[in-house]
Chain A
Amino acid sequence: MTTFTSLRNALSPGKNAGELKKTKTRDKLFIFLFLLPALLLFVTFVVYPIFRSVYFSTFKWTGLGEATNNIGLTNYTKIFTDVIFLRAVKNVLIIIVLSLAIQLPLALILAVLVGRDLPGRGVFRTIFFLPYVLSEVNAAIMWSLLFNASPERGLLNAIVVGLGFQPIGWVSDTSVVMISIFMVLTWKYFGFHMLLFLTGLQNIPTEIEEAARMDGANSFQNFFHITLPLLAGTIRTSVYMSVLGSIQQFIVVWVLTGGGPIDASVTMATYMYKYAFVRHQFGYGSAVAIIMFILCVIFSLIYQALTRKPDYLSGQ
Chain B
Amino acid sequence: MRKIISTPRWMRKSLPRTVQYLILSIATILIFVPIVILIFGSLKTTGQMYTHPYDFPYPAHWDNIISILKTADFWLMMRNSIIVMVSTTTLTVLICAMVSFVLARMEFRGKNLVFNLFTLGMMFPINVAILPVYFVLLQMERLGIHMIDNLVAVILVQTAFQLSTNIMILRTFFVAVPRELQDAAYIDGCTNFDFFWQIMLPLVKPSLAAVAALVMIASWNDLLVPLVVLNSNNLWTLPLGTMQFQGQYGQDLALISAFVALSSIPTIIFYFFAEKQIVSGLTAGAVKG
Q: Which of A41, A52, A248 is within 8 Å of B128, CB to CB? A: A248
Q: Is the CB–CB distance between A35 and B24 below 8 Å?
A: no
**Binary interface profile of A, 44-85, with partner B (CB < 8 Å = 1, else 0)?**
111111101100100000010000000000000000000000
B136 and A141: CB pair below 8 A?
Answer: no
With a CB–CB cut-off of 8 A, which chain A residues contact B156?
Answer: 41, 45
Q: How far is the CB of A158 from chain B (nearest CB, A)?
A: 7
Residues of the A chain whose Cβ atoms lie less than 8 Å from the Cβ of B124? 46, 50, 293, 296
Q: Which residue of B lies closest to A295 (CB)?
A: B128
Take A27-B106, A37-B95, A135-B264 as given contacts and tell me if A113 and B23 are in contact as well, using a CB distance cutoff of 8 Å: yes
Which residues in window 89-115 of B have CB below 8 A to A? 95-96, 98-99, 101-102, 106, 108, 114
Question: B125 touching A248 by the CB < 8 A rule?
Answer: yes
Does A161 sit at the interface, judged by CB under 8 A? no
Answer whether A141 and B160 are a contact pair too, CB < 8 Å, given A38-B96, A192-B282.
Answer: no
- Tell me whether B129 is interfacial, beta carbon within 8 Å: yes
Interface size class of B (residues with CB under 8 A): 35 or more
Tell me if A100 is interfacial: C-beta within 8 Å of chain B. no
Q: A135-B220, A138-B264, A293-B128 are in contact. Are A128 and B7 (CB under 8 A)?
A: no
Q: A28 to B129: give the CA distance in the assembly, Å.
A: 32
Shortest A181–chain B CB gap in Å is: 14
Q: Is A153 an interface residue (CB 8 A)?
A: yes
Q: Is A93 positioned at the interface, with any CB of B under 8 Å from its CB?
A: no
Q: Select the stretch in A1-9, A13-21, A164-172 that faces chain B.
A: A1-9
Residue interface bits B105-140, CB-to-A below 8 A is 1, else 0: 010100000100110111111011111111110110
Q: Is B84 an interface residue (CB 8 A)?
A: no
- A285 to B215 CA separation, bound complex (whole angstroms): 28
Interface flag for B70 (CB, 8 Å): no
Are the CB atoms of A285 and B33 closer together than 8 Å?
no
Distance between A242 CB and nearest chain B CB, rounded to angstroms = 11
- Per the 8 Å Cβ criterion, residues 210-238 of A in contact with B are 210, 213, 217-219, 222, 233-234, 237-238
What separation, in Å, do the CA atoms of A293 and B13 have in the docked complex? 48
* Any A CB within 8 A of the CB of B66: no
- Bound: A52/B133 CA distance, A: 9
- Given A31-B108, A38-B163, A46-B160, are A218 and B10 also a contact pair (CB < 8 Å)? yes
Chain B CB within 8 A of A257 CB:
no
Chain A residues bordering chain B, tally (CB within 8 A):
109
Contact B128 A289 (CB under 8 A): yes
The secondary-structure label for the interface of chain B is helix
Check if B102 sits within 8 Å of A35, measured CB to CB: yes
Binary contact track A116-133/B, C-beta < 8 Å → 1, others 0: 111000001111111101
Residues of chain B lying within 8 A (CB to CB) of residue A286: 131-132, 135
A36 to chain B, nearest CB (A): 9
Contacts of B190 in A (CB 8 A): 3, 5
Q: Which residues of B contact A125 (CB under 8 A)?
A: 279
How far in angstroms is the closest Cβ of chain B from A121? 9
What is the bound-complex CA distance between A56 and B134, given in angstroms? 12
Please measure, in the bound complex, the distance between the C-alpha atom of A153 and the C-alpha atom of B80, giving whole angstroms: 34
Q: Does A94 contact B (CB under 8 A)?
A: no
Chain A residues with CB below 8 A from B238, complex form: 135
3 pairs of A and B residues whose beta carbons are closest in the complex: A49-B132, A135-B221, A45-B160
Q: Give residues in A with beta carbon < 8 Å to B.
A: 1, 3-5, 7-8, 11, 26-28, 30-31, 34-35, 37-39, 41-42, 44-50, 52-53, 56, 63, 110, 112-118, 124-131, 133-139, 141-143, 145-146, 148, 152-155, 158, 187, 191-192, 195-196, 199-200, 202-206, 209-210, 213, 217-219, 222, 233-234, 237-238, 241, 244, 247-251, 255, 269, 272-273, 276-277, 282, 285-286, 289, 292-293, 296-297, 300
Listed A/B pairs (11) with beta-carbon separation below 8 Å: A30-B193, A46-B124, A52-B132, A115-B11, A118-B7, A128-B27, A148-B53, A155-B54, A199-B283, A213-B9, A213-B10
For the complex with contacts A145-B253, A237-B287, 11 further pairs of A-B residues with Cβ separation under 8 Å are A26-B192, A31-B106, A48-B136, A63-B138, A117-B4, A117-B7, A127-B32, A130-B271, A145-B38, A219-B13, A234-B287
